[in-house]
Structure 1
Amino acid sequence: MKTLYIVRHAKSSWEYEGVKDIDRPLKKRGITDAYLISSVLQKKVSCPDVFISSCANRALHTGMIFSYTFNYPLANLKISKSLYSFSDGYLIKTVKALDDGFDSAIIFSHDHGISSFVNKFGSKHVNHVPTCGVIAIKFETNHWKNIKSGETFLTEFPKHYK
């Protein structure tokens, strides 16, 4: 059995002119939401075996907050340039390439790819994964490369707690 947690980065700021998209920071609401949802998740599930984040500042900062909440060593947070994509192709490749020694993984990335991925591989349709939304899917396989359809067993969105 493999378990995947997919997290859309928290709310980012558009207020800085001249900042490249990849460098956009989280806004205050995003930081608050990341602490909120990571605390909710930490009370419901065991710490994932591996944390992987897009290299974008907003995704990486979200991943750092979740790492802190789960007491996951920040030095072990993996950064993936290929996750800085808005299609599900790189997300699928990243998941299927995970080491089979990891039974669970948490990935911090971007929409459009996240919504497409969870609807392609999960058992529940999600119209739109909001910022700092988490979707968890269990796969009945021992090998990440063999994932097909799985069971969506958790959806956590900030609006559920406000």
Structure 2
Amino acid sequence: MKTLYIVRHAKSSWKYSGIEDIDRPLKKRGIKDAHLMSKFLSKEIARPDVFISSSANRALHTGIIFCENLEYPLANLQINRQLYSFSDGYLVKTVYALDDAFNSAIIFSHDHGINTFVNKFGNTPIAHVSTCGIIGIKFQEKHWKNIKKGKTFMVEFPKNHK
């Protein structure tokens, strides 16, 4: 069995002009939400085997906060530039390429790609994954490259924890 947690990056700031989209930082609310959700997750699950983040500042900062609160070595956080995409294609490729030695993974990525992925691979329709939302899906497979439809067992958003 394989378990996947997909986390949409926390709320980012649009207040800085002249910076590239990939460099946008988290807002204060985003930082608070990332701590809130990662502390919640740390009490609910065993720490995932591998943490992977988009290279975008906002996703990476979210991942760093989750590493801290789930006591995952920051040096082991994998950064995947291809996850800085707003389609599910690279997210699917990233999951299919996971090492089968990992039974669980957590991925920090972006809107649209996440929404498409969780509806394609999970069994619970989700209209919109909010910022810092966490979706958990279990797959009855031994190999990541073989995952198809899984069972959505976690749908958590910050607004439900405030």
Offset at residue 161 of structure 1 (A): 1.3
Report the counterpart of residue 115 of structure 2 in structure 1.
115
**Alignment length, in residue pairs?**
162
Report the counterpart of residue 141 of structure 2 in structure 1.
141
Offset at residue 113 of structure 1 (A): 0.3
TM-score (norm 1): 0.99
Pairwise CA RMSD of aligned residues?
0.3
Report the counterpart of residue 44 of structure 2 in structure 1.
44
Aligned amino acid, residue 155 of structure 1: V
TM-score (norm 2): 0.99
Aligned-partner Cα distance in 2 for 1:156–1:69: 17
Aligned amino acid, residue 57 of structure 2: N
Which 4+ stretches in 1 moved above 4 angstroms? Answer: none
Offset at residue 137 of structure 1 (A): 0.1
Report the counterpart of residue 57 of structure 2 in structure 1.
57
Aligned-partner Cα distance in 2 for 1:12–1:111: 12
Offset at residue 154 of structure 1 (A): 0.5
- Structure 1 unmatched ranges of 5 or more: none
Aligned amino acid, residue 70 of structure 2: F
Question: How high is the sequence identity, in percent, across the aligned residues?
Answer: 70
Report the counterpart of residue 100 of structure 1 in structure 2.
100
Report the counterpart of residue 21 of structure 2 in structure 1.
21
Q: Specify the SS of the correspondent of 2:117.
A: helix
Aligned-partner Cα distance in 1 for 2:75–2:161: 30
